[in-house]
Chain A
Amino acid sequence: MTEEFAKKIRSLSLQMVTRAKASHIGSALSITDILAVLYAKVLRVDPTQPDMPSRDRFILSKGHACVAVYAALAERDFFPALELETYGQDHSNLMNHISHKVPGVEFSTGALGHGLPFGVGKALVAKKIQADWRVFVLLSDGEMDEGSNWEALMFAAHHNLDNLVTIIDYNKLQSLTTIQKTLGLEPLADKLRAFGWSVKEVDGHNHDQLNQSLSSVPWELGKPSLLIAHTVKGKGISFMENKVEWHYRSPNAEQLAQALAELEASNA
């Protein structure tokens, strides 16, 4: 059940940020369902061989949402779950932006706009050596402000990288306020199609929709695939949903208890 996996990721993520007094829980909860489907159903990865040459490559470009990836990797036994307790602590490999020092993590990010060009380079190599592994890159919506992403979008389409899948976590909030009030992205799907990508839109919390889309790439031969995942920042915790402040705040003990209770009571 990928929904149970997602629930576990949410629970571990909440505990990690609370323990470390860290930020970005809203961003992590936003991508949790995407990650659950990817790591349970889609990605060809082997926890016993994190560097297996034939593995699919997953890159989290919005590196600040790393707790959800760390939790997913630990749940998939890439490393002992106990290590999650070191998150954000002195000398831990589990730093507060995703780190390639963690087994299963391909690339460190933190500055936005780096993941897609890096993934493009990997996908280009896969084409050149005629390998059948794929590259999945998860971006934030606010990150689409970065010009480097649009450079990479153009390059990937020009080079027919249909082994490249980009997912945009479109929760409509960025660091200070809404996307709409900052730099509006609409009409996003049309823009991306005009850049030469095959584009689909799904409810980013609907596991069936996510699985159906991500398991059937490429959607068009010769075109890279772009999934716009409509999401809710802070998804699953009532007092965090759609609140910019949870880009920054860390839950206190009481809020953590309430959040975990909500998770426990939820069906998903």
Chain B
Amino acid sequence: MRNAFIDELVNQASVNDRVALIVGDLGYSVVEPFAERFPEQFINAGVAEQNMMGLAAGMASEGYHVFVYSIANFPTFRCAEQIRNDVDYHCLPVTVVSVGGGLAYGSLGYSHHAVQDFGLMRLMPNMLIAAPGDPMETRACMRYLMANPQPSYLRLGKAGEPCFHSAVPTIEPGKWLQVKAGACNKTLLTTGAPLALANQWIEKSEQYRDYALHTLPLWGMATKEIQAAKIKNWSEVTTVEDHLKDAGFGSWMLEAVMDTPELLTRIKIKALSPKVCGMVGRQEVLNELGGLTAV
């Protein structure tokens, strides 16, 4: 995913000199293709995330589309007020990019576990969350964001995620993307990297064998209203995310249909239990411990 991200960014920068990449002294072996080709559009802000996000907002206010890249919680929680006040309130085209969403950095410990970031970002009224499920969706998110610069949060996995789309799909905020048709009127709905996990459940478990598979790569406060009409088409929608259930994607979906009570019971949530907080281990081990299993 991160390679697809930097590849798309390089493509865009080659035709737009008002695209900038700011990193918080991170991105070794990822950002070099951009930094070497566009040194005037690349800034290493150092280990100083508050200034990094504030200066990104300042640059964006002067016509730049700024991508701010770091890992896990560093470009989000560490500079949350700068995102809230400077970027989101002023509605500036800054894309916060976090690599290692969920428990991708599982062995690095709680500081590096991004399992509350959706909760933070979906509190921002103007923020569009972009959580691609595979490298193709990553490219689709980047193309959408470049064509529609706005306050945005791009949550990436790490590297090596399998592709589920044969080509770059066309995506829109709030619109579900079908990955697989099912044999019943039920679907899994993922956002972000757990797409691969959800696909495994359909392929290997009894419980989800007949389910369809959808992703929702672009969502946020502004796209809640159109969700009820989508839920109505299904007898069950199980959301899947590598984020705590509290304030996560599934909770967002519940809020989206709360004015239509009969839809509430159609939504099931597969999300991480807080018991995973503080545990360390490989991503797949922690996801399982956190409850991201087919049963």
Contact = CB atoms under 8 A, between A and B. Distances in A.
B51 A155 contact: yes
A152 B55 contact: yes
Nearest to B63: A125
B62 A118 contact: no
B59 interface: yes
Contacts of A148: 50-51, 54, 82
B85 A111 contact: yes
Contacts, number: 84
Nearest to B22: A121
B56 interface: yes
Contacts of B61: 106-107, 118, 121-122
Contacts of A96: none
A198 B243 CA distance: 47
Contacts of A118: 54-55, 57-58, 61, 86
B51 A107 contact: no
Given A114-B82, A114-B85, A128-B40, A121 B48 contact: no
Nearest to A133: B62
Interface string B131-154: 000000000000000000000000
A26 B54 CA distance: 28
Given A110-B85, A114-B85, A114-B86, A122 B51 contact: no
Interface in B8-41: 40
Contacts of B5: none
Contacts of A109: 85
A108 interface: yes
A213 B79 CA distance: 34
A122 B59 contact: yes
A53 B81 CA distance: 28
A124 B51 CA distance: 13
Contacts of A152: 51, 54-55
Contacts of A119: 58
A125 B58 contact: yes
A106 B53 CA distance: 17
Q: Which one of B55, B63, B64, B81 has the greatest number of beta carbons of chain A within 10 Å?
A: B55
Contacts of B59: 121-122, 124-125
Contact of B48 (A100, A106, A155): A155
Looking at chain B, what size class is its interface with the partner chain?
20 to 34
Interface in A217-268: none
Contacts of A106: 61
Contacts of B60: 121
B89 interface: yes
Interface size class of A (residues with CB under 8 A): 20 to 34
A187 interface: no
A147 B89 CA distance: 22
Interface string A75-107: 000000000000000000000000010000011
A117 B90 contact: no
A152 B50 CA distance: 9
Given A100-B90, A124-B55, A117 B50 contact: yes
A131 to B, nearest CB: 9
Given A107-B90, A147-B50, A121 B85 contact: no
A154 interface: yes
B58 A124 contact: yes
Contacts of B56: 121
A120 interface: yes
Interface string B59-84: 11111100000000000000001100
B62 A125 contact: yes
Contacts of A100: 90
B45 interface: yes
A120 B62 CA distance: 12
A147 B81 CA distance: 13
B26 to A, nearest CB: 16
Contact of B54 (A110, A121, A126): A121
B143 to A, nearest CB: 25
Interface in B231-274: none
Contact of A117 (B51, B62, B89): B51
B75 to A, nearest CB: 14
Contact of B50 (A121, A128, A151): A151
A239 to B, nearest CB: 34
A204 interface: no
A111 B50 CA distance: 13
A116 B62 CA distance: 15
A63 to B, nearest CB: 10
A113 interface: yes
Q: A100, A114, A119, A126 — which one has the most chain B CB atoms within 10 A of its CB?
A: A114
Given A106-B61, A121-B59, A154-B46, 13 more contacts: A114-B54, A114-B86, A117-B54, A117-B82, A118-B57, A118-B61, A122-B61, A122-B62, A123-B58, A125-B58, A152-B51, A155-B46, A155-B48
11 contacts: A108-B85, A108-B89, A110-B85, A114-B82, A117-B58, A118-B57, A121-B61, A125-B62, A152-B54, A155-B45, A155-B51
